[in-house]
Structure 1
Amino acid sequence: MHSAIPLTEKVFWVGVNDHETDLFEALWPLPYGISYNAYLIVDDRTVLVDAVKGHFLDEHVNRIREALPAGRSIDYLVVNHVEPDHTGALRILRELFPSIRVVGNKKTLELLAGFYGAGGDTHVVQDGDVLDLGTHRLTFHLTPMVHWPETMMTFEASTGILFSGDAFGGYGTVDRGLFDDEMDLAFFESETLRYYANIIGRYSQMVQKAIAKVGTLGIKILAPTHGAVWRTQPRVAVDWYDRWSRQETKSAAVVAYGSMYGNTQKMAERVARALVDAGIRTLVHNLSHSHASYVLRDIWTSRALVLASPTYNTGLFPTMDDLVRLLENKLIKDRLLGVVGSYGWTGGAAKALTAFAERSKWRIVEPVVEVRCAAGDQDLERCAQLGRNLAAAVRA
């Protein structure tokens, strides 16, 4: 069944749910799927706000046709974000609705031409421009680098709907409930945080600017391109993004380790045990089993991090090397770091982790524990001391 879902009397959700894609951006796991949200406004002129991934075109078009009055077509397609999971249907939409006019800012139209070729009717908007549909009026707010250079948000004043693009979105399909009052918000917060840490987090400074820009609009309904539509508590999603983009942390720690034969694991577990004994909520990730998507999520809101790695070909264990590169790329700042390393015939892991902390301007909590081969009782006691010192630093 292909049902358009009303947000208001004249505004409809015409998006799709994706249970087929295993990895978002071919990187991030989707165990609960993802939605591609699009919205249709029916007025004197009809507007489709964002579209969907091309693979799901049939379902998308069926919902559009269900919501369109008989004999009507689409006058405008507003593109808040060019990424192909929101524009993959563009070519076919132009064929099905030949009079459609694509609305976007200058960068939007440049990128669309790059992905899909030039052609079709277009309308360029600048920051603050208004598109009058009859009863509804759309105002465009440019929010560059949230998280592409062309991203913008579209506000409809009469309904108070902010079509926010990827901002305020999250992982997970919406077939079990589109609206915030229909969802398990504790579960959805976790998947939204994971989405934020994976996709948006690097651009936190620009998220702060965007929140300041649209924060006075009188938002009644928050309609992103992924995840829940917030019709009851739109401020909750904005507050989540506000906290995460400020990189506010909790009194918690993450212990992430790589281990080939269990020796580094034994040290990491001793640090974790000391943290737990000291009353610090601690999450432990074996990087050979935990996908970086979940590790990033947990690190994003934790004050302290322990990185434990064996030396591998004079450098970091590969899964740890991948994580460190991601942490640097995401611009995570102001964390406490405990360093644990091991080696057989030559060192290298502890030195590499210490260098990472210095580059990132993180505070290293002593002692740095590095062990040749396997840890003895004294080495394990130093690991426990590191855990106690980290706990004290977290509480401070």
Structure 2
Amino acid sequence: MNIREITEDVFYVGVNDRTTDRFENLWPLPYGVSYNSYIVKGSEKIALIDTVEIGTIRDYIRAIESQIGDAQIDYLVINHMEPDHSGGIPSILEHYPMAKLVGNRQTISMVKGYYHIEDDRFIEVGDGAELNLGNKNLKFYLTPMVHWPETMMTYVEEDCILFTGDALGTFGALNGGVIDTEMNTDWYWDEMYRYYSNIVGKYGRFVQKALAKVSGLDIKYVCSTHGPIWHENIGKALDIYNRLSQYESEPGVTIIYGSMYGNTAEVAEEIGRQLAARGVKNIKIHNASKSNMSYMISDAFRYEGLIVGSPTYSMQIFPPVEQFLIAMSTREIKNKVFATFSSFTWASAASGKMKEYAEKMKLDIVDSLDMKQSATQFTFEDAARLAENVVAVLTKR
């Protein structure tokens, strides 16, 4: 059995990266990441779908040769130009000098800018264009801003395969198998939430347009550029991306707080206890000074309630908490049951500043709590009231 063969004459030739610490030099990769590339071998022509990050090029060339031997690649289809997928382009063109680059107008402009390739190497395609390989035909669907302006998808009707670029991708390297039927995929779902919220989160409306564009296709395999090939779990992967791109959430509450000396942290813990006492089971509490931004963003996207707490720091929001609010604002987060709590010693400012972020994000504040210096019995009563008001809105949904 060729573990890399998806369907007859369609092969996986991607590679794993278990060395890089942070994706985009930002997001942790505790389980590594895969850079996925594919070969479609027609009766007359061979197409390569996307390439890989430049540091993995030796393993990549070997993977290609293991599937096609000494045959030449005729077309390199570029679904996404981000360097973790396009870094291998110069090496591929050197190794396969007759190959033509296939991409849309935006793609071609970016390839020229990044890799300084001559005009005669390109074939420009538009939305709905087709490229014949003999007994297999490639059809292209432009899906801009998922999550770069040039992104597109490629469909092989004969095999019911959709190559989706970054869409429906996840963090996490592949551990032997490449198709979901060959592995236990349970742990990939949390990594999919994190990947979507960290990388794609801002572009929900464009993801919705892309999903609608390909919704009428007969799809038996979804081949993204990161993570497993989806076959038996296509429905689940589509459901997660569909819900997240509509800013729909799961039941639960995420609490993000900052604390210098433990007083604001005490309020965060009390709010968590009060939520649990009212039946909320999915509660994630993050100390913004310690938790990685990647996981805070993921949980904020995933769960319906979002409660943010901060001490007043130089008449501003505590910096790690403000960085989180900036990340939420950048991703245009929506549809959250939002509440705030804050603390101060001699002058309250964090509360008002968080209200400004709520207005910017167009989120109504369900309740807020402002504590002077340290917690009292009144503070705990306010925490119970805040939890009660948040739960009341959660229950209505």
Q: TM-score range by the shorter chain?
A: over 0.9
Which residue of the partner structure matches residue 215 of structure 2? 215
* Aligned residue runs from structure 1 range 85-96, under 5 A: 85-96=84-95
Superposition deviation, residue 181 in structure 1: 1.9
Match of 2:195 in 1: 195
Q: Hey, what does 1:178 align to over in structure 2?
A: 178
| Distance apart, 1:356 and its partner CA | 1.1
Unaligned runs of 5+ in 1: none
Corresponding residue number in structure 1 for 2:113: 114
Q: Secondary structure at the match of 2:98?
A: coil
Unpaired runs of at least 5, structure 2 = none
User: Where does residue 302 of structure 2 map in the other structure?
Assistant: 301
What letter is aligned with 2:45? R
SS in 2 for 1:247: coil
Structure 2 residue aligned with 1:323: 324
Q: Distance in 2 between matches of 1:62 and 1:238?
A: 32
Q: Quote how far apart the aligned CAs of 1:26 are.
A: 0.7
CA gap 1:4/1:105 in 2 versus in 1, 3 angstroms = farther
Shift of 1:4: 7.2
Counterpart check, 1:371 vs 2:393? no
- Mean Cα displacement is larger for which, 166-175 or 375-384? 375-384
* Equivalent pair of 1:4/1:67 in contact (CA under 8 Å): no
Match of 2:77 in 1: 78
Mapped to 2, the partners of 1:61 and 1:147 lie a distance apart of: 27
Tell me if structure 2 keeps the 8 A contact 1:146–1:207: yes
How far does the alpha carbon of each residue in 1:96-149 deviate from its partner, in whole angstroms, 9 at most, with x for none? 111010000000000111111132611000000000000110000000000000
Q: Indicate the residue corresponding to 1:127 in structure 2.
A: 127
CA distance in 2, matches of 1:260, 1:202: 31
Tell me which residue corresponds to 1:344: 345
Pairing 1:102–2:105 present:
no
Q: Contact (CA 8 Å) 2:248, 2:335: kept in 1 or not?
A: no
**TM-score (normalised: structure 1):** 0.97
**Aligned to 2:213, what secondary structure does the other structure show?**
helix
Query: Which deviates the most, 16-25 or 3-12?
Result: 3-12
Give the aligned residue type for 2:223.
Answer: A
Counterpart Cα distance in 2 of 1:9 and 1:79: 22
Greater shift in the superposed pair: 11-20 or 345-354? 345-354
Q: Distance in 1 between matches of 2:233 and 2:342?
A: 46
Give the aligned residue type for 1:314: M
- Does residue 28 of the first structure (1) align with residue 27 of the second (2)? yes
CA distance in 1, matches of 2:153, 2:302: 26
User: Distance between the aligned counterparts of 1:391 and 1:4, measured in 2?
Assistant: 49
State how many pairs are aligned: 392
Native 8 Å contact 1:334 1:361 kept in 2: no
Distance (Å, rounded) in 2 between the aligned partners of 1:276 and 1:49:
48
Q: Give the AA of the match of 2:103.
A: G
Task: Tell me if structure 2 keeps the 8 A contact 1:207–1:245.
Answer: yes
Structure-2 separation of matches of 1:212 and 1:123: 26
Q: 1:129-186 CA distances to partner (integer Å, 9 max, x unpaired)?
A: 0000001100000000000000000000000000000001000011243111233333
Aligned-partner Cα distance in 2 for 1:125–1:158: 20
Q: Return the alpha-carbon distance in structure 2 between the equivalents of residues 139 and 188 of structure 1.
A: 29
CA displacement at 1:263 relative to structure 2? 0.3
The residue aligned with 1:205 is 205
SS in 2 for 1:271: helix
Indicate the SS of the match to 2:7: coil
Report the equivalent of 1:264. 264
Separation in 1, partners of 2:372, 2:97: 70
Match of 2:380 in 1: 380
Shift of residue 345, structure 1, vs aligned partner: 2.8
4+ long deviations beyond 6 Å: none
Q: Is the 8 A contact 1:164 1:225 kept in 2?
A: yes
AA paired with 1:48? L
Instruction: Encode CA deviations 1:255-303: one digit per residue, 9 max, x unaligned.
Output: 1100111000001111111001101121111111111111111111211
Matched letter for residue 235 of structure 2: R
Report the counterpart of residue 251 of structure 1 in structure 2.
251
Equivalent residues in 2 for 1:272-291, closer than 5 Å? 272-280=272-280, 281-291=282-292
* Compared CA separation, residues 8 and 206, structure 1 to 2 (3 A): same
343-352 vs 25-34, greater mean Cα deviation: 343-352
Task: Tell me the C-alpha RMSD between the 2 structures.
Answer: 1.2
The separation in 1 between residues aligned to 2:69 and 2:245, in whole angstroms, is 41
Distance, in Å, in 1 between the alignment partners of 2:384 and 2:268 is 9
More deviation, 73-82/90-99: 90-99
Tell me the equivalent position of 2:49: 49
